[in-house]
């Protein structure tokens, strides 16, 4: 069987698997593909070949996103954008992000194989920095495309001291990646669910109603470093002990709210990092999410108040900065209806669910109507090498996407 004989959904999964190893990963024995790294460049080159084989013209935009375009038969029509992200977290699974790109390519490949053109063009985006695994800000590239990125946000440096400008090298003005609203009809993103709902309900796919609101903070706690053997316990200003109490407070306050609010400390760094030195400085992050912004904000305020009390009680210095504030992003009602119709036509029960995870769609909503399709993943596991998607589910997702595209074409008014 040749590559052309393999069904599109199955091929999409296989291509994600192919990109989980060197040269498409910068991590030995696992997957790590951060923005603007050698692995990122190698993955873009391979994706470009697959896009071209599917009948698309390919270019890299000013934010280093890879873009493939399949023209429609109306030259002036705005484009349907299909996208997801190419980067990954450290020690990742292969489907979070890339599967949505691969299914976009396969949708175009199916149209191209039939010699079909929609009234509008289709543009497939491989966004570069959804995870924020290299620079201390997430979703730079989709914010640039949506036209919501502030120039000040580009003044950032990775942990190796490399600035974004240095990493980009020859790329022109980043903000010129912005699309004009009149060039963009809608945005479609297919993505693994990263949760257990679809599997629990015995469903392969579902329509996403929206994305939860997010707040993310960077916290620095400063105490006094000292010798671990000579500083008495009652006189210590241990930044790590104080931070530990703060981390537990984050969990306790979110659990006590007894709602859909989730709060996570995902990064923690103790300095100077020696076994015989009392930590004098600790840095960590706090991520707070909820489907309702007011509930998210109330829990975040309670967390910040409590960690302030802990710092004061322990005579520690506390600095908190807001990394990002992402509003809840509801899907477009008309597009959800088209997606539900496509689900039913593909023989799938109609199921709607909310996304607790953030996606590039939440930024693209500032540019155009958006909709997402969730795909079942085994045990809801994501951001983990155990991430798994059945090829049969990807086949269903592709059928639903093609049905959605047909329905969008039927409803298009020039």
Cα 99 to chain centroid distance, Å, stands at 12
Strand partners for 295? none
Is 276 annotated in a binding site? The answer is yes
Q: What is the DSSP letter of 92?
A: -
Q: How many CA atoms lie within 13 A of 145 on its CB side?
A: 33
The answer to whether 258 touches 243, Cβ cutoff 8 Å, is no
Collapsed DSSP state (helix, strand, coil) of residue 66: strand
CB 141 within 8 A of CB 62: no
Binding site annotation covers 234? no
What's the CA gap between 358 and 89, in Å, rounded? 14
**Cβ neighbours around 161 below 10 Å, total:** 7
Q: Does 96 count as an annotated binding residue?
A: yes
Strand blocks (E) in 229-271: 262-264, 268-271
CB of 357 within 8 A of CB of 172?
no
Phi, psi angle pair for 220, to nearest 5°: -125, 125
Q: Per DSSP, what are the bridge partners of residue 311? A: none
User: Is 73 a known ligand-binding residue?
Assistant: no
**Annotated binding residue 216:** yes
317-326/213-222 β-pairing: antiparallel
To the question of whether residue 378 is assigned a binding role by annotation, the answer is no
Task: Return the sign of the alpha-carbon dihedral for residues 217, 222, 226, 231.
Answer: negative
Tell me the C-alpha distance between 222 and 272, whole Å.
11
Q: Which of 340, 342, 327, 244 is nearest to 292 (CA)?
A: 327
Calculate helix-pair angle for 98-113, 391-411, nearest 10 degrees.
60
Q: What angle do CA 137, 304, 299 make, to 5 degrees?
A: 90
End-to-end Cα spacing for the chain: 42
- Residue 191 annotated in ligand binding: yes
Q: Which of 67, 399, 400, 353 is nearest to 199 (CA)?
A: 353
Coil, helix or strand at residue 356: coil
Contact yes or no for 192/389 (Cβ under 8 A): yes
How many angstroms separate the CA atoms of 187 and 362, rounded? 10
Q: Which helix (H) or strand (E) holds 52?
A: helix 38-53
Question: Annotated binding site for allantoate: which residue ranges?
Answer: 216, 276, 289
Annotated binding site for Zn(2+): 85, 96, 131, 191, 383
Q: Which residues are annotated as a binding site?
A: 85, 96, 131, 191, 216, 276, 289, 383
């Amino acid at each position: 069987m040749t590559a052309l004989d393999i069904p599109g959904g199955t091929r999409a999964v296989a291509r994600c698997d192919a990109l989980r190893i060197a040269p498409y990963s910068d991590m030995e024995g696992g997957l790590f593909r951060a923005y603007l790294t050698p692995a990122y460049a190698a993955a873009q080159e391979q994706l470009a070949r697959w896009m071209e084989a599917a009948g698309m013209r390919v270019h890299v935009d000013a934010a280093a996103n890879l873009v493939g375009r399949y023209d429609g038969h109306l030259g002036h029509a705005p484009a349907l954008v299909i996208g997801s992200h190419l980067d990954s977290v450290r020690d990742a699974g292969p489907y979070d992000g890339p599967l949505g790109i691969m299914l976009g390519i396969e949708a175009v490949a199916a149209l191209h194989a039939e010699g079909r053109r929609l009234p509008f063009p289709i543009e497939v985006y491989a966004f570069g920095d959804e995870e924020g695994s290299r620079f201390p800000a997430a979703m730079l590239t989709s914010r640039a495309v949506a036209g919501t990125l502030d120039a000040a946000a580009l003044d950032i440096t990775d942990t190796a001291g490399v600035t974004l400008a240095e990493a980009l090298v020859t790329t022109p003005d980043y903000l010129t990646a912005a699309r004009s609203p009149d060039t963009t009809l809608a945005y479609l993103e297919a993505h693994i669910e990263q949760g257990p709902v679809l599997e629990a309900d015995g469903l392969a796919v579902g329509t996403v109603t929206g994305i939860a609101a997010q707040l993310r903070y960077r916290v620095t706690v400063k105490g006094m470093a000292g010798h671990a053997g000579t500083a008495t316990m009652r006189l210590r200003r241990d930044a790590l002990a104080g931070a530990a109490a703060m981390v537990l407070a984050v969990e306790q306050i979110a659990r006590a709210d007894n709602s859909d609010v989730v709060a996570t400390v995902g990064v923690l760094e103790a300095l100077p990092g020696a076994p015989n030195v009392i930590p004098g400085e600790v840095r960590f992050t706090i991520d707070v999410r909820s489907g309702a912004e007011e509930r998210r904000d109330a829990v975040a305020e309670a967390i910040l108040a409590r960690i302030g009390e802990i710092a004061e009680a322990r005579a520690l210095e506390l600095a908190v900065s807001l990394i990002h504030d992402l509003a809840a992003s509801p899907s477009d009602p008309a597009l959800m209806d088209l997606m539900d119709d496509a689900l039913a036509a593909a023989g799938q029960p109609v199921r709607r669910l909310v996304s607790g995870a953030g996606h590039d769609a939440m930024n693209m909503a500032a540019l155009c109507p958006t909709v997402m399709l969730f795909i079942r993943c085994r045990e809801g596991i994501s951001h983990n090498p155990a991430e798994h998607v059945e090829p049969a589910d990807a086949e269903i997702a592709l059928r639903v996407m093609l049905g959605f595209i047909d329905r969008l074409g039927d409803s298009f008014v020039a």
